Amino acid sequence: MLVCEGLETYYGAAHVLFDVSLRVETGQVACLLGRNGVGKTTCLRSIMGLTPARSGSIRFKEMEIRGLPAYEVARRGVGYVPEDRRVFSELTVKDNLIVAERRRRDRTGWTLDHAYRMFPALLEFRDRLGGRLSGGQQQMLTIARTLMGNPELVLIDEPTEGLSPVVVQGLEASIVDLKRNGLTMLLAAQDIRFALSLADHVYIMDRGRIVYSKPIAEARGDEATMRARLAV
């Protein structure tokens, strides 16, 4: 579904991504692992068109999307869950979801009821302002809001960062459910355990480069090498 080849991305004169190539097959989950500051967020933002790659190729469903503005990438079926969540603090949970709703032509896909079933806490707090939610509740809302746009591919940046273990456990269960329902995802994370429990393919990034790439069957038997890569 998604194929990136040779991505080179800059912030001004600073070269951030170097020859980054990866792919995510339809219905699969790929995890992009790495420490803070190695380029994971920039990679997701480059795919989304928020920090455009200067060169390389980004193909979504076999169509080139590099160079398109972010809103056009979203229209083509790519959703993005940023690390900083960016909920609408002065809107209720319900209104946060409604404002992002984008129905499919066949009237199937994500609705308010579907979002509430996936994240029951959002139903409980549907009339609460987004700015008054806890960090974990905001993360649930951000993911649900993205899903209300009915994307075919979702990019999720550090979904469990800074959350308590109990909240992390619940979010991980929700992401596993999304995978079972066939949603294609690319996740940026730091937690090897999380990646090994969820991913179909694991990539490790260091200093703006992909330094490790293996399908999950091989990665599970290679945890020592993965940890060594992440410790560099």
Q: Which residues of the chain have pLDDT under 70?
A: 104-108, 232
How buried is residue 28: exposed, middle or buried, by Cβ count under 10 Å (0-12/13-18/19+)?
Answer: buried
Contact 25, 59 (CB under 8 A): no
Q: Catalogue all structural domains in the chain, each as residue range(s) with its CATH number.
A: 2-77+152-231 (3.40.50.300), 84-150 (no CATH)
Which residue, 203, 143, 201, 135, is CA-closest to 173? 143
Query: Model-level pTM?
Result: 0.90
Q: What is the CA radius of gyration of the chain?
A: 17
The pLDDT tens digits for 84-97 are 888 999 999 999 99
> Which residues on neighbouring strands pair with residue 5, listed in sequence order?
57
Residue 206 CA to chain centroid, in angstroms? 18
What's the pLDDT score for residue 167? 78
Per residue in 170-207, pLDDT (tens digit) is 888 888 888 988 999 999 998 888 888 889 999 999 99
Q: Are 206 and 17 in contact (CB under 8 A)?
A: no
- pLDDT score at 96: 94
